[in-house]
Amino acid sequence: MRIILLGPPGAGKGTQAKSISNKFSIPHVSTGDIFRKNISEKTPLGIEAKKHIDKGHLVPDELTIDIIKDRLDNEDCINGFLLDGYPRTVNQAGVLETILEEKGNCLDTALLIKVPREFILNRMTGRRVCLNCGASYHITFNPPKTDGKCNLCGSSLVQRADDSEETVSERLDIYDAQTQPLIKYYGDKNLLSVVDGTQAINSVFESICSILGAIEKW
């Protein structure tokens, strides 16, 4: 099964992607993970990508396309994959279609986790992380036992730069302008499936499994 996972920043795509990958035995290909690995290792790609990510901007197409094409050539993607974070533009979608056609394959569905803007702003701006051990919290949904302190190691919690309201708003604006057209693109191709992302995490996954299970039977 070949799946694209769509949705705005903060829609919970990463969480659902891991569950889908395990359930359907396909690799989870996350551009975010690939970029973070390169950023942590300070590779040329990572250094260039960080300039855009820190500003809340999308990484340019040419950088993203190159890493995706290389990743899909790996043996674990022969029988399918779940793409998380790609494509983000109609141009990237067209390139992906060409890549798959060259392999004699096609996309099974573009799965959209739909979440309202205000819901995302509340979710993302409320996140806090521990710089010492990496544990994550939310001031409303998963608060620490002691305000501003990590439950596990007692270190101070901080808001990541890309979780500030200004940066989140800018990322959502970019999503609306550049990525939303993908909804129409895949809708016109009868490949779009939509899930309500405001549900509880388990309920979102159950809805996803229902959709993908039906597609598998086609």
For the chain of 218 residues, list the mean pLDDT of each consecutive stretch of 10.
92 90 94 83 85 81 83 90 89 93 94 95 93 93 94 95 91 87 95 95 96 84
Residue 78 belongs to a domain: yes
Determine the pLDDT at residue 147. Answer: 94
- 111 token code pair: 């799965």
Best CA proximity match to 53, nearest among 80, 34, 26: 34
Determine the pLDDT at residue 180. Answer: 85
Residue 187 belongs to a domain: yes
Determine the pLDDT at residue 218. Answer: 65
Residue 130 belongs to a domain: no
Question: How many Å apart are CA 1 and CA 109, to the nearest integer?
Answer: 9
CATH number for position 94? 3.40.50.300
Residue 124 CA to its chain's centroid (Å): 14
What is the count of structural domains for the chain?
1
Residue 86 belongs to a domain: yes
Determine the pLDDT at residue 120. Answer: 93
Residue 150 belongs to a domain: no
Strand partners, 3: 82, 109
**Phi and psi of 106, rounded to 5°?**
-150, 165
CB 192 within 8 A of CB 186: yes
CB 8 within 8 A of CB 26: no
Determine the pLDDT at residue 28. Answer: 94
Indicate which residues carry an active-site annotation: 13, 88, 127, 160, 171
Residue 126 belongs to a domain: no
Residue 140 belongs to a domain: no
Written as one letter, the residue type at 42 is K
Q: Domain residues for 74?
A: 2-116+179-217
Tell the residue number behind the tokens 């001031």, with chain if given.
139
CB under 8 Å to 165, separation ≥6 — which residues? 121, 125
Residue 42 belongs to a domain: yes
